[in-house]
Structure 1
């Protein structure tokens, strides 16, 4: 069944788009990353203009994050105080990021910037997480790794503006989650992701939050960050295709529920391994696209 996308100016198979939503929704509920790391590349691969893929990807995450965060909230996995401090930074970063996206698109550089961001960030983060999760599953964290985590905690504890986060069992400066949120907001606007693929590793390995609380808190924060960016992308850049977003949301609603339930029965190390494998796979796919068939991937990059 073909569906015409008025903003993207193309026809797509509606069942293919729904299956995309189902897959990324499952990933979102399972790991808390929001699914955007898959949605944007998948949409670009099938010919959707990069700016529309980014804007619609951000809007789609709203539906999946709403369902997933509610499921995790009912299980007591959301640190509300941490989430709202993160939002203070992410809303600011999202506003600035949308303006930057508009400037890059006007200069014809947006698609190339998006691809390089995916390859570099996902490659570094995914590889690091893959190595750590494999060592954790084998019970070989290592003395040096523990020493580095202790050093990071010591630095964070010396920053001004210390706050207590009882649900996460932490005490740290509010500046840390504000700056983390700011970076997530920028990534949401520039890459169509919720920023969870950056935020989740930092919350796990730098802030040392419990894995299940990280997933729930990440999804809750993603809900409001992506809602802001989606509205700004639609209003300022006309980059959100409503039919495409709706089809993706329909799939993600069901996928997120399945992911949240599956995650409840998995160990933290297993969740991190799944996330690492997905992140590395996307990075490789995007990297190959730069060399194998860039004219195909970016053929619609300048469509307004």
Structure 2
């Protein structure tokens, strides 16, 4: 097994400084939501995808545009509807009579940041067209693979209020979202600031890039070298096992979920200037990384059991490690 070099203190300091500048830049467009902004950036640098379950008008599109502008990346938006076809997402191969060959016309999925708006309004077939690109960073059309490049992040949204004409996301697809969170409404001070700048319709348009897409890819590679002690890995594994043992849970956190936590925790730690992961990083990320992966028993759900409540109980029952493995 190849051992990656560990991130040095100087590298972790540079990473945290760049991360803070990116978060501050995005925060100029998405006011009063620093925690969500940092989660979104963590998701991007962990090379994962973000699911936002929120009411309309909370700034989801603004978040996607602001992240793309901050990393000198491209941004596309797809409005998911029941009649949307998979080829409308991935692209299509068209026969060119002049050249006598087939040419690939890329779809909107070929962007640094893809906003999949109201993803649960499309048919399961169209939803599944995103599975390959979310997992492998490429789409295959007519047997030919096409890479979407790095960085690549899907920010998908779904409206929890209006369920008429929607298709529930299957658990297999939910499991492929690294983080699920919500922006929510801004507080009063942030709302006043938004209203005072109402003449500016798109705050993200004025943002200057902080890093190039190449630098973001390098940051993602660097985050992978953050050290995770075996005691912390055992803590993550223990938590996952406990979620599967809760009687109210039909399906607990999978191995993919445990890997997702490890990837997120590395970026989260580096964003705070550390080249090692603490148990507190796992605790802070447990809800956004794991809550959407739990499948509850319908009867338990009917009586008021929630994924958040289950995770809170599991976190309270499993003691966090106090020292390094073998120490």
Same fold, judged at TM 0.5 (above): no
Of Structure 1 and Structure 2, which has the larger fraction of its residues in strand? 2
Q: TM-score, normalised by structure 2?
A: 0.29
Q: 1 or 2, which has the higher helix percentage?
A: 1
> Does 1 or 2 have the higher relative contact order (CA < 8 Å, sep 6+)?
1
TM-score (norm 1): 0.31
